[in-house]
Amino acid sequence: MTAQRPAADELVGRFIRLSPFDAADIPELHRALCRPEVFAGGYGGGPAGLPADAEAFDAFARSYYSAGDAAMPWTVRLRGGADDGLVVGATKLGDLDLPEESAHIGWTAYDPGVWGTAVNPETKLLLLDLAFRHCFGRVKIQADAINARSRAAIEKLGAAFEGVLRRHKRRADGSWRDSALYSIVIDEWPAVRAGLEARLVAAGERPVSRPRERGVE
């Protein structure tokens, strides 16, 4: 069966919920993501892509998370606990190619306060499940080849390394990046899903909370 475009409905997990991206989310995304450490690994074109202020971030986010026939952007919110509903990131299911049954999970970034928590594995679980339930056969995930942290996170998902696309994309500073390419195909999905679910069980029952910054309520 040919892949079908999913409905843009909220996706709810144990630790997070993914809501379709709305421009009203941008001020909260600015707080969560407009940080040098977020852009350092290649997000938004790398360090030189860091917006200078809230107005510049607004323009960046509207472009980066634009929707359309081939793109479904999402805002990542915490679920449960004191920070229920707090925006901690954004992502996109993009490059939707229904005849070829392929998609791409990317454009992803999180507030550093939730790095290493259940947020990323559950985000990937919800999006991969959405794609494979709608008959996509291959989901691509990629990162700047020099971004060891992102590559390790992708490999931990159980994605297969396919190689490096050389001189693949321009960074914001004008240099060219090589992209490390990974994928998960539908035959691998049961094992990948089991691994992600095991990680979420190991995370326990306590909701994820974003650590408070000194002097910030």
Give the Cα separation of 88 and 71 in Å (integer): 20
Instruction: Give the global pTM.
Output: 0.95
Give residue 117's identity as a one-letter amino acid code.
Answer: T
117: tokens are 């928590």
Strand ranges (E), the chain: 11-12, 16-20, 71-78, 87-97, 102-110, 138-144, 160-170, 176-185
| Best CA proximity match to 20, nearest among 10, 30, 28 | 10
Q: What is the CATH number of domain 11-202?
A: 3.40.630.30
- Does residue 136 contact residue 10 with C-beta atoms inside 8 Å? no
Half-sphere exposure of 171 (CA within 13 A, CB side): 21
Helix H or strand E encompassing 33? helix 26-33
Give the Cα separation of 30 and 89 in Å (integer): 10
Confidence of residue 217 (pLDDT cuts 50, 70, 90): very low
Alpha helices in 49-165 (DSSP H): 54-64, 119-133, 148-157
Q: How many CB atoms lie within 10 A of CB 52?
A: 8
The predicted structure's pLDDT at residue 212: 67
Each residue of 71-125: pLDDT tens digit?
A: 999 999 999 999 999 999 999 999 999 999 999 999 999 999 999 999 999 999 9
Q: How many CB atoms lie within 10 A of CB 86?
A: 20
- Does residue 142 contact residue 101 with C-beta atoms inside 8 Å? no
Report the DSSP pairing between strands 11-12 and 16-20: antiparallel
Confidence of residue 213 (pLDDT cuts 50, 70, 90): low
The predicted structure's pLDDT at residue 163: 98
What mean pLDDT is reported for the chain? 95
